[in-house]
Amino acid sequence: MKFETQTSEQSQAIIDRHKAVMFPAIAPYYGEHPIVVERAKDQYLWDIEGNRYLDFFGGVLTVSVGHANDEINERVMQQLQLAQHTSTLYINEIMVKVAEKVVQLAPGRLAKCYFTSSGTEANETAIMAARMYTGNDVIVALRHAYSGRTMTAMSVTAHNTWRLGNVTDPSIRHVRNPYVYRAPLNLSAEEVVELCVRDLEETLQTVTGGRIAAFMAEPIQGVGGFIVPPAEYFKRILPLVKEAGGVFIADEVQTGWGRTGHKWFGIEQWGVEPDMMTFAKGMANGFPIGATLATPEIAEAVQGLTFATFGGNPLTMTAALATIEYIEKYDLPKNAAERGAELRARLVQFQQEYDFIGDVRGMGLMQALEIVVPNTDKTPDAPRTAQLLNAARRQGLLIGKGGLYGNTVRIAPHLNVTQQDITAGCDMLHAALAELKGKS
Ligand SMILES: Cc1ncc(COP(=O)(O)O)c(C=O)c1O
């Protein structure tokens, strides 16, 4: 399966119209040749030229159980006939059912939900709740974090390319992230943890009043390029956070709902308990959702009026409940671990074959390749990464990009991916890598 990615007259006309009426900063993948989607079903997506792609990115880890999944759609369709919109001013039972399910699956003492429409809003809500609960302002976040696109969420985000419009929230402090592959002075994983602990200590002592509202982190940094912390990282960091009066917000927008394998939530891989978790993306298989989950006392501290027009929307809630029940019914956290291990094994083989693959990392069905210039000190190679995305597309495979330097390939198939599709996808990726061999 190999096609030319010539843009047809038909898609060019739509691309031109898109350019004419959309903000130019909204940049689709594939440069001058973006994909114009016609339809998508299960593991496949078709462009309007009729090319079929195996989708290993799922609209950024969002189509968690396949495009237009029949079991999800059937329930959403039924709900559409019943009630489409209520706002948070009225109670609909489906919202209560989702909250009950989330609370049942969540670790520790997390017991109260707030629904919104995006990961950004989920994080804003968590930050607001942490500040109201603790009475403190400072949010400690990690370098290379991605948190969303409101002014506060962009202030937490630590990639300058994603911080637009003079981001100036004065109460965000960024500390070193546990990025072992790019550790200074080639420090070991243990030494990186030590460095991160020291950096947090110094940050608390030097640029805060010693008291903080929260430490906010992704269990595995997503946009940052699937940066997996060493096993001891969170266990070492959290006592300092507690000592400074802060709560721990785990941003599970990418890592939640079985993605990392075996466990429901990414943070459970690290043996620590968050005080809040935030969700979006894969929770409703593509319906716009945000959810903030907190302990009872944190939720209780949010006093005053709050409202979300689309929070708990019956269609979104139906999709969320159906998605979570689908993940449960087919034990997809287990599938994510098993298929993820197969994917990882192939990626490790590719690394032995291609010297421009500097690092292979990830967990479960979130796996990454970091692309570097061979025979250098890990010099990031963004142009070759872009070429690899294009080459994979020509083979019929959709994968993602990420990392501060734009040199990380992100591979995140739907959680119900089959062994056959992992093989097919890896074969396509292998052919794409072969196309790039020797190119500079
Ligand atoms: C970890 C993380 N948090 C928050 C967000 C923001 O979510 P949204 O784009 O739904 O606002 C994202 C989006 O990529 C994310 O990856």
DSSP 3-59: ---PPPHHHHHHHHHHHHHS-TT---SSTTS---EEEEEBTEEEETT--EEEESSHH
Q: How confident is the model at residue 7 (pLDDT cuts 50, 70, 90)?
A: confident
Residues 115 and 77 in one domain: yes
Amino acid at 190: E
389 CA to centre of ligand 1 in angstroms: 22
Reply yes or no on whether the pLDDT at 6 is more than 80.
no
pLDDT the model gives residue 27: 87
| 125 contacts 251 by C-beta, under 8 angstroms | no
Same domain assignment for residues 106 and 222: yes
Select from 63, 125, 147 the residue to mutate for testing ligand 1; criterion: most ligand atoms less than 8 Å from CB.
147
- Ligand 1 neighbourhood includes 57 CB (under 6 angstroms): no
Q: Has residue 3 been placed in a domain?
A: no
Q: Tens of pLDDT along 228-285?
A: 999 999 999 999 999 999 999 999 999 999 999 999 999 999 999 999 999 999 999 9
Report the Cα–Cα distance between both ends of the chain, in Å, rounded.
25
Range of the domain at 424: 9-68+332-436
Please tell me whether residues 257 and 316 are part of one structural domain: yes
pLDDT tens-digit readout, 77-133: 999 999 999 999 999 999 999 999 999 999 999 999 999 999 999 999 999 999 999
Q: What's the pLDDT band for 4 if we cut at 50, 70, 90?
A: low
The pLDDT assigned to 269 comes to 98
- Domain finish residue from 329, 360, 386: 329
Amino acid at 270: W
pLDDT at 158 (0 to 100): 97
Q: Is 158 near ligand 1, meaning CB less than 6 Å away? A: no
Q: What is the mean pLDDT of the chain?
A: 96
Ligand 1 centroid distance, CA of 147 (Å) = 5
Ligand 1 close to Cβ of residue 251 (< 6 A): yes
For residues 32 and 51, membership in a common domain is answered with yes
**Tens-digit pLDDT profile for residues 167-188:** 889 999 999 999 999 999 999 9
Q: Among 362, 291, 395, which residue's Cα sits nearest to residue 51? A: 395
Task: Provide the percentage of residues in the chain whose pLDDT is more than 70.
Answer: 98
Last residue of a domain, one of 329, 358, 376: 329
Ligand 1 centre and the CA of 407: distance in Å? Answer: 20
Residues 256 and 123 in one domain: yes
Residue with CA at minimum distance from ligand 1 atom 7: 119
Contacts of 331 (CB under 8 A, 6+ apart): none
Query: Which backbone phi and psi does 112 adopt, to 5 degrees?
Result: -130, 135
Ligand 1 center from residue 339 Cα (angstroms): 24
Say if residue 254 is in the same domain as residue 370.
no
Q: What is the CATH number of the domain that holds 281?
A: 3.40.640.10
Residues 235 and 239: their CA atoms lie apart, in Å, by 7
- SS3 state at 398: strand
97 to each of 92, 126, 309, how far by Cα in Å?
A: 9, 21, 19
Q: What distances in angstroms separate CA 39 from CA 1, 35, 383, one per listed residue?
A: 19, 11, 29
In a domain, 110, yes or no: yes
Examine residue 4 and state whether it is found in any structural domain, yes or no.
no
Q: Which of 161, 253, 254, 404 to mutate to test the pocket of ligand 1 (most atoms within 8 A of CB)?
A: 253
pTM value is 0.98
Q: How many domains does the chain have?
A: 2
By C-alpha distance, which of 44, 29, 60, 37 is closest to 285?
60
Give the three-state DSSP class for 247: strand
Nearest-CA neighbor of 267 among 297, 303, 235?
235
Query: SS3 of 366, please?
Result: strand
Q: pLDDT value at position 401? A: 97
Ligand 1 site, residue 252, Cβ cutoff 6 A: no
pLDDT at 167: 87
Tell me, yes or no, whether 250 and 339 share the same domain: no
Helix (H, G, I), strand (E, B) or coil at 428: helix
CA distance 397 to 2: 10
Quote the CA–CA distance of 260 and 336 in Å, as a whole number: 7
Domain's final residue, options 312, 329, 346: 329
Considering the domain architecture, whether residues 223 and 93 belong to the same structural domain is answered as yes
Domain annotation covers residue 2? no
d(CA 219, CA 259): 12
- The answer on 404 and 281 residing in a single domain is no
Co-location of 359 and 235 in the same domain = no
Provide the pLDDT for residue 166.
87
